[in-house]
Amino acid sequence: MAEENKAEAAPAAAAAPAEAAPAAAAPEAQDVPEEAKSTSSVGEQQPSDVESEPEPVVQISTFERLKLFLAETNRFLGLYDDLVENKDKHKSVYLSAVNELRERLVTLLQRYILHTMVKEDFLYKHIVCCGGEDSEAMNTEEFDEHYEEVHSEADKAVSLPELDEIRAYSTEVKTYIDLGKAMNNDLIFSLKRLLRKSNSVLAGHLG
């Protein structure tokens, strides 16, 4: 009987390793190299937006710029009287816009015909604001102080196409001061006419 029990136990013992074999045969998890992880994560990232390159700035030759500015000046000169015709309805804001234009006209003209211009133009008392022609005239500094104290706040609500036109041309003059490199007699003549008209508006004689 003892021998039979040993014989039965032997197959059972032999079977145990066979059942455990599949578990032992299971492959161990392998560590993924860091480089592979890095490559994988990079591949999953969405491509960033590529910034569009700025458009190239159009280069204008010196004489082409002169030609364009002369044409714009003559166009504005032809409109000037109509633009300031009704200035008395909003006198102070018109004076502010016209005087800014005048200052730039003087700056540009002084560059080329200084010998015929007043060197200390900023002291020139040429602006009559409140009151009639007999009122005391102010220079630019005095007018700027007066305008800021008396008119600036109320004039913020004033929006007129005529003022927009004056300011737009004033910006053109500023641009030519910065970038223009040439002058001819035709442009000088037109700029001086604009200066005379502006002086008349500021003194209360025109419009």
Average pLDDT per block of 10 residues along the chain, 207 residues long: 45 44 46 49 52 71 96 98 91 93 93 69 77 76 88 85 96 96 95 94 76
In sequence order, the β-bridge partners of residue 127 are 138
CB 191 within 8 A of CB 105: yes
Q: Which two tokens stand for residue 81?
A: 């009287």
Residues in the chain: 207
Q: Residue 135: which of 47, 203, 59 has the closest Cα? A: 203
User: According to the model, what pLDDT value does residue 121 have?
Assistant: 58
pLDDT at 13: 43
Instruction: Give pLDDT, residue 49.
Output: 56
Res 115: pLDDT: 64
- Residue 8 has a pLDDT of 47
The pLDDT of residue 19? 45
Q: Which of 86, 85, 110 is nearest to 195 (CA)?
A: 110
At residue 6, the pLDDT reads 45
pTM: 0.68
Which pLDDT belongs to residue 20?
43
- Output b/e per residue, 182-192; b: 16+ Cβ within 10 A: ebeeebeebbe
Question: For residue 17, what pLDDT is reported?
Answer: 43
